[in-house]
Copies of this chain bind each other. A is one copy, B any other.
């Protein structure tokens, strides 16, 4: 299997120099129409496919962005990814999508991979409160924008106010007369979990933490057994909440009569749940879009670029799981 036809073979067939073929590829308007037509014909005939390795090696940029999300199984993040891809595509950038599944080790592996591929910038939902690797990445020249995580002034970020989200939940539960709430959440090293809990506690509710090691439906299902003597359960996200819901219903617990239940993210499936789920809506698509636009701005004009920390406001969506 010989190597596929390159720019050189195309040049020979079209009777032009390789420089001209490259120009057809990258600055078509600087090539006379008939020449261009000849080159394009040659490309078609030879089945030419540009080798982007060679291109980015020489050019020093790849026209690709990296996106590392926390959990590709969570519809919230697929929406974020969609937003990123939209914005990137509009400017001719491709997106390499990676899933850390909340593991710092996998995150590190992916960042390394993206850096080896010389992506022009990285969008990261950190799985790790320790941003040293991110700083190293930046030190070597790769721009990083944090997604769903607020940053210091030395970096761009787009996030949603999780503390406020937690408060919204707390206030809502209080208004429904609930006072003893269990908070089913991941480890505090996941900032979203910590902040939502903090917001909840801000409202003065009596909160008991029930920690799980993965934000999955299965983990939520299993954790439901540990939820006792409460009149409300708040889960760090909807996926977990739906797992908890299933367990509660199987145990014969009435929702919301015995226990109110609140999730987070307002994923599509929250509305179709056995008991439609009260949740916190986040502008996922816009979060991704905004983050990508900031990154692209930084990439295209590093000099004039000013770092920005955008903070979106979450929104309470009440449904039957808290009494509708």
Q: A3-B60, A73-B75, A81-B72 are in contact. Are A268 and B52 (CB under 8 A)?
A: no
Which residues from chain B contact A60 at a C-beta distance below 8 Å?
3
Give the segment of A167-175, A198-206, A241-249 that binds chain B: A241-249
- Does B272 lie within 8 Å of A115, measured CB to CB? no
- Per-residue CB contact flags for chain A residues 90-102 toward chain B (1 = under 8 Å, else 0) read 0000101111000
Residue of B nearest to A245 (CB): B272
Nearest to A271 among chain B residues (CB) is: B246
Rounded to whole Å, the gap between the CB of A225 and the closest CB of chain B is 17
Nearest to A269 among chain B residues (CB) is B269
Which one, B85, B116, B140, B217, contacts A47 given CB within 8 A? B140
Once A96-B96, A274-B276 are accepted as A-B contacts, the answer to whether A217 and B268 lie under 8 Å apart by CB is: yes
Binary contact track A47-83/B, C-beta < 8 Å → 1, others 0: 1011111101100101000000000110100110110
Q: Is A118 an interface residue (CB 8 A)?
A: yes
Q: Which of A31-45 contact B (CB under 8 A)?
A: none
Task: List the B residue with the shortest CB-CB distance to A139.
Answer: B47
Known A113-B94, A141-B4; contact A57-B49, beta-carbon cutoff 8 A: no
Nearest Cβ on chain B to A108's Cβ, whole angstroms: 13
The distance in angstroms between the C-alpha atoms of A275 and B273, with both chains bound, is 8
Distance in Å: Cβ of A122 to nearest Cβ of chain B: 13
Contact B57 A51 (CB under 8 A): yes
Q: How far is the CB of A264 from chain B (nearest CB, A)?
A: 16
Please give, as numbers and ranges, the residues of chain B lying within 8 Å of A140 by CB-CB distance. Answer: 4, 47, 49
CB distance from A142 to the nearest CB of B (A): 9
**Distance, CA A162 to CA B51, complexed state (A):** 38
CB nearest neighbor in B for A274: B274
Candidate in A79, A246, A269, A274 with the most chain B CB atoms within 10 angstroms: A269
Q: Is A155 an interface residue (CB 8 A)?
A: no
What is the distance, in angstroms, from A245's C-beta to the closest C-beta of chain B?
A: 6
CB of A112 within 8 Å of the partner chain:
yes
A136 interface hit (Cβ, 8 Å): yes
15 contacts between A and B (CB under 8 A): A3-B60, A4-B141, A51-B116, A52-B118, A57-B57, A72-B72, A81-B99, A97-B97, A97-B99, A217-B268, A242-B269, A243-B272, A246-B272, A273-B274, A274-B274
> Lowest 3 CB-CB distances: which A-B pairs, in order?
A269-B269, A53-B57, A242-B272
Inter-chain pairs besides A53-B56, A274-B275, 18 sampled, C-beta below 8 Å? A1-B302, A4-B140, A49-B140, A51-B57, A52-B118, A53-B57, A53-B62, A72-B78, A73-B79, A81-B99, A85-B99, A97-B97, A217-B268, A217-B269, A242-B269, A245-B272, A246-B272, A272-B273
